[in-house]
Amino acid sequence: MSLRRLVCLIGFVALVVVPSGATATRDSRSGMRLNWSIPGPGPTHSDIAFWGDTGVAGDYDGFRVFNRQTHQLYVSYRCRGPQNDVSLWRYNGRLLLFMSVDRPQIDGATVCGQSSATDTVASDPRGWEGIRIFDITNPATPVYVKAVTTDCGSHTHTIVPDLANNRLLLYVSSFPIASQNIGGTCQQPFEKFSIVSVPLNAPETASVIAQPPVSAPPWSGAVACHDITVFTAIHKAAASCMSEGQIWDISDPVHPDTLHPIHIDNASVYFWHSAEFTWDGQYVVFDDEGTGSCSPTGNGRIWIYRVSDGLFQSSFMIPRPQGGAYCSVHNGNFIPVFGRYQLVAAWYGGGTGVIDLTNPTQPHEIAYYDATVGGSADTWSSYWYNGTIYANDIARGIDAFTLASTNTAGATWDHLNAQTQETLLDLPVPRPGLG
């Protein structure tokens, strides 16, 4: 979630319900079409993941499971746990859901709270935070499998498949900044993250197996990473460690080399939030979750670097004024486009944008959708998945968009966990002159 919002603006987010007959004709848009939406219930919608046609959208009070083809909502499952970022994995016919809980919950290891009344503080002995695991093989009837306690909870997590050992590893990002989280084993500067092992044959035995160190300048007194994006095919991780970006070697995923990273420092970045690799592994985009308002000179931009040595290429902010609304890049992924680099990203008050950075030194926006009808855009996550762009909007809920024209040549994936990139794609390398 937004550090700006997490630290400064935690509070009420109005629930916006889109009328059944609403159209998008007055929305600000170019090159994208809104196909369908599943609004509500909130209070704050967060991340989204897919396995096959099953989608899961997290929100602070739980998660929703839906079918992306039929738009059927299977269940709205109430289980309080900000920020409830989600990921999915199917094994031997069983579909597992992993959720990040980063605010202590009263008896949260065994009980699903229904509202913010179950929020507590780290010093409360009844409090719990960390990773929750559900079985959603039957999407209409989720089953609570396991709660794994992690120091400082879990702000976000990243699946790192370790199938040779028949398990998943979860890189759990957490940090002691918000006042309710500091206490017990969550003390500044922290300087680590947790690795949870999930045996695929017995996910109920999942446990913390390591806490690798993190070395970076402190941010608001803490040293830790917000998001960690892995590209397993090239054995790299792009770690957004609040005060700087880092590129790690994860050839040994249980012992990632966090002490000898490529350090990427940039005084113009307010908060290193997340990252995305191009599908050929050549470039990485780091996302600055700033305090911006879509100003051409403000923060909240994307920053483009070469993976091999961290060499800076350029930065970019969407060019659409928001009338003072908060606007900053947040979560996104690259479309598998032949001969081009095209990044889909959520921009909070700027909605969803598609940025072409085929020439990494000259990025430009080629499409966007900034909703106003049925509630203004305040978009947390926007991802391309099998021909459709899906957004989970803080207040609006799930929106599904079509991009007018992009040549993916029928590229399809069987799942999407946006922070876990697994396969180098056999796509022609872009030529900078195309951008």
CATH of 3-434, picked from 2.130.10.10, 3.40.50.150, 3.40.630.30, 3.20.20.70, is 2.130.10.10
> Distance (Å, rounded) from C-alpha 107 to C-alpha 110?
6
pLDDT at 11: 30
Q: How far apart are alpha carbons 260 and 243 in whole angstroms?
A: 17
**DSSP labels for 195-251?**
EEEEETT-GGG-EEEE--B-----BTTBB--SEEEEEGGGTEEEEE-BSSEEEEE-S
Cα 27 versus chain centre, distance: 25
Q: How far is residue 312's CA from residue 414's CA, in Å, rounded to a whole number?
A: 33
Distances (CA, A) of 295 to 10, 361, 416: 24, 19, 31
The per-residue pLDDT for 409 is 60
CA 293 remoteness from chain centre: 21
pLDDT at 4: 41
| The pair of three-digit structure tokens given for residue 393, joined into one six-digit string | 């909007």
What single-letter DSSP state applies at residue 430?
Answer: P
d(CA 302, CA 286): 6
Q: How confident is the model at residue 178, as a pLDDT? A: 85
What integer pLDDT is reported at residue 18 of this predicted model?
A: 32
Residues of the chain with pLDDT under 70: 1-26, 323-324, 407, 409-410, 428-435
- Kindly report the average pLDDT of the chain as a whole number: 91
189, 195, 183: which is closest to 215 by C-alpha? 189
Triad 369, 375, 380: Cα angle to 5° = 60
**Cα angle value 17/22/24 (rounded, 5°):** 110
Kindly calculate the radius of gyration of the chain based on its CA atoms and give it in whole angstroms.
20
In the chain, where the domains are located: 3-434
Torsion, Cα 212 227 306 413, to 10 degrees, reads 110
